[in-house]
Copies of this chain bind each other. A is one copy, B any other.
Amino acid sequence: MSKLTLKSVAKTLGVSTATISNAFNRPDQLSVGLREKILSACAELGYFGPNKAAQSLRTGSSGIVAVILSDSLEYMVSDPVASQFLQGVTRELERHKLHLLLFSGSSANLEAISDFVDGFICYGAPRNLGLIEQLTRSPKRVLTVDFDLPGRPSVNIDNEQAAYQSALAVLKPNDTVAILGLRLIDAPDSRPVLQAPMWDNQSSIAHRRLDGYLRAMAECRLTLQPEYLWHLPESNQHYGQLAAKTVLALEPRPTVLLCMSDLIALSAMREALQQGIEIPNQLRVVGFDGIEESLRYHPTLSSVWQFSDAKGQAAVRAFLSGDDSPQRLPYELRLGESS
């Protein structure tokens, strides 16, 4: 038995290759009877449809969309915000009969798969500089989420404004403010930012949020002492607790914690409560993103809700639309018992 191709199958069935191709792709181009005969004959032969690689070469599209995750796969699939986003992406791709290719931003072999996919949806600013360069010059469609790339369409919320509003809602005169930031500098550990050079200042959502916090603070005539501005490398329980411990030990103790993720905020609240600090009397906390756990926790967390699932959906739609204008998604400030 020789290899099964459109050509060989067409020959054995005594029709042209075009007819076989149409039987699979364009049912309106041939009679119903012949189509059924061809399809069942193919199934019998063990020919399961046109070769996707050849199809992709000829038509220029493979039906595969790569989603590049800035962090490790592990972090991404375990973080509720990211996994919600992926769910939204998956659902919307399936609706368009497209396929998802998950790609970790840490491995930088974009070139290896670039020619096999229709484009890239890039979630979060990659730390890998080479990757950014590859994405910038890629001839494929590239859509960024939660960061910007020159000349590329993006999907995002107005992080500066959202952070500004969330801070404004929680700040009072004479507050001592601490900020638990996410990836403000390029350091693998949790630490105060101090004079360290900011990382990727232009496009990072973390810096947009910081801008918003600072604007709200300025408006309330509050200043931020360097040791009250913290960098966390990842959004999780571990780093949240670690940073909260140190920050809450500062003198004077913060009366407000502005946190760049809900996971961080929840861990910080847990730590504070364990130390006997009353929320919101002695300490007010506000998070970012909005996850279910924030509603179940006591006290409930004030946060900026992002609707990550919808964001995933919007990302796919913007990717497919061909529209290159940046898309600003709605968000919602939801106040809980923590402020």
List chain A positions with a Cβ less than 8 A from chain B: 46, 48-49, 51-54, 56-57, 62-64, 72-74, 77-78, 83, 90, 99-102, 107, 109, 111-116, 137
Interface contact B51-A115, CB-CB below 8 Å: yes
Q: A139 CB to closest chain B CB, in angstroms?
A: 8
Once A53-B57, A57-B54, A77-B73 are accepted as A-B contacts, the answer to whether A99 and B112 lie under 8 Å apart by CB is: yes
Residues of B within 8 A of A114 (CB): 52
Residues of B within 8 A of A78 (CB): 74, 77-78
Q: A113 CB to closest chain B CB, in angstroms?
A: 7
Q: A150 CB to closest chain B CB, in angstroms?
A: 17
Interface contact A137-B46, CB-CB below 8 Å: yes
Which residue of B is nearest A116, CB measured? B116
Residues of B within 8 A of A54 (CB): 57, 115
A205 to B101 alpha-carbon distance, docked (Å): 29
A46 to B56 alpha-carbon distance, docked (Å): 22
Residues of B within 8 A of A63 (CB): 112
Interface contact A99-B113, CB-CB below 8 Å: yes
Once A54-B57, A78-B74 are accepted as A-B contacts, the answer to whether A111 and B64 lie under 8 Å apart by CB is: no
Q: Within the oligomer, what is the number of copies of this chain?
A: 2
Give the contacting residue for A56; candidates B53, B77, B102, B111; CB below 8 A: B53
Q: Can you offer 24 A-B residue contacts whose CB atoms are under 8 A?
A: A48-B111, A51-B57, A52-B111, A52-B114, A52-B115, A52-B116, A53-B57, A53-B62, A53-B115, A53-B116, A54-B57, A54-B115, A57-B57, A63-B112, A64-B116, A72-B77, A73-B73, A73-B102, A74-B77, A74-B78, A74-B83, A77-B78, A99-B109, A99-B113
Interface contact B52-A112, CB-CB below 8 Å: yes
Which residue of B is nearest A117, CB measured? B116
A48 to B137 alpha-carbon distance, docked (Å): 10
Q: A65 CB to closest chain B CB, in angstroms?
A: 11
Which residue of B is nearest A102, CB measured? B102
Contacts A51-B115, A90-B107, A102-B102 aside, 7 further interface pairs with beta carbons under 8 A come to A51-B57, A52-B112, A52-B116, A53-B62, A57-B57, A64-B116, A116-B116
Give the contacting residue for A116; candidates B46, B49, B62; CB below 8 A: B62
Which residue of B is nearest A56, CB measured? B53
Which residue of B is nearest A60, CB measured? B53
Once A73-B102, A78-B78 are accepted as A-B contacts, the answer to whether A111 and B49 lie under 8 Å apart by CB is: yes
Interface contact B64-A112, CB-CB below 8 Å: yes
Residues of B within 8 A of A115 (CB): 51-54
Residues of B within 8 A of A52 (CB): 111-116
A113 to B63 alpha-carbon distance, docked (Å): 10
